[in-house]
Structure 1
């Protein structure tokens, strides 16, 4: 039986927007610890200004309208209602492309890059490079969440979006691109659904390079990376441990306090973007708040933690020792959180066709550098058409 999607349009109730503003007005702020402003987490002064703008200046309806400018749908899959954008390409033979976000992201990451992928000629590119883009909200994230639904790790997410592409939309073969958990899901698709993948493109190497013990007799490049990995593990992974071990406890505070939710997320936007310490120089304040607001209005922050819990409790992208053999492209942005060397990646990805060192940008590539990422994705898949 054919599964039929239903058209979807986002509309947050006026009462929910008013409630958010009321809660923001009653925020209790902590004191600022002595020392550098961001040394111990989110700066109190910055968050005060951000929440004031969120309450009195931010136009949710404008961001909502920007999302609603794209065709959206929901479809029952794997026990949930999966939300996705489905934007047809403008070109002679658009390739289907699955576009996958991560944490703490959402489909708001893609509003600037989707037109560059679906209509490249509009931006000075070649119409023959056009894609038809399918951009789901990952299961458990944003508009693919409702209270009490089942939780998804990376393998289950991959199976769900694979069913969307093949069983619902009828694409026999397609490409996939992702960052953060989207890169993990994309990699899993290349492993578990290889027969349907034209190729995969990622901008975070999640399936390789995380095990320091795998580097026997490391090269100089590998030693530099191992030093970065050690620093990351020591100083930057606290969020992973709490989200991966006690996600329910953390969810209480972030579901009840919009300022707490913003503090938790904005610290990652700042730390992981190529912003030189000024997050709004890399990611616009309105688009950042649109993303945070979506987590708030949907109440999905707790379920968004689940891939961390699943990973720490045995859910792997692929079994140890196995490899991914589909054609692979990788864009390494300079302010990405971890940048494994190609030698490490090649142990897992056995058909790397493109390895690009990008001139600028960070973890949120589609938000920070939509033109650069779109050009890179088009260049990779051009050779596979």
Structure 2
């Protein structure tokens, strides 16, 4: 299978399935001398691991303990490939035996079967959201490279179940349930989750990712624009169905006089561009939003067909999240970190900055 490597200079290659022995990856291209240890990676993995999503989370319990296999010596990167591994410990493959010959609506079962003619039905195999654990580990390594350059990345929930946040304190959001930037909206979100869960249904939402202190000049003209790379990175996450940069879709119904960002002696006076002009960073905060679909595994009867084309109905059991939020937040953050790390190294290679 192709498509398992992300990046040009800062590269992440991942492997593993939802119900295999474990998952892992290799980061190649990370410069030497970056402070890194397992605890740094574990901090990000703990935000994503099963059981961390409050009322919206699956009952599956995984420690998601990372083990660094190579590329780090005495707490610093060596400049060689960084290998890591996370063991699976709470698989229940028998939960999927009854549906191995049925295509689950909203999942990748049908398309994987069409492409490969054979699929791992245990939780979706490689198409499972569990594969994102390797993205988070790789993104945590990229984060340390960005940290050394003074760049910080935050992911926070701006809408859950159709209920938008009214405040946007993205720094405080990192310590709140659902990564909420609005302390007053959490109760409404939890009531919405309870109601939908009682109906055997699931929820979607919107996550905003913000990168601060990004230098101007990152990104390449035409095909490798920074915003194009960010959209590609975020859309590569299975549950994401739409991406906006800056004012996004609202720009289409705005006016140029309102959507342009005026410039004064001290810098830009607004940030409708989301920190990217002509595909190159402007020095403002990078702001991207990812629109996340509802979890497709629902406890309601749905029409489908068997692998031989016979009509049937299915009700999906097992252990599933009610919403991908908040566990998807560190995944989206990781993809932005990986993109910025790659673009930062590309910028250096071209000799734009010392």
TM-score exceeds 0.5? no
Comparing both structures, which one devotes a greater share of its residues to helix?
1
Higher relative contact order (CA 8 A, sep 6+): 2
> TM-score, normalized by length of structure 2?
0.25
> TM-score, normalized by length of structure 1?
0.24
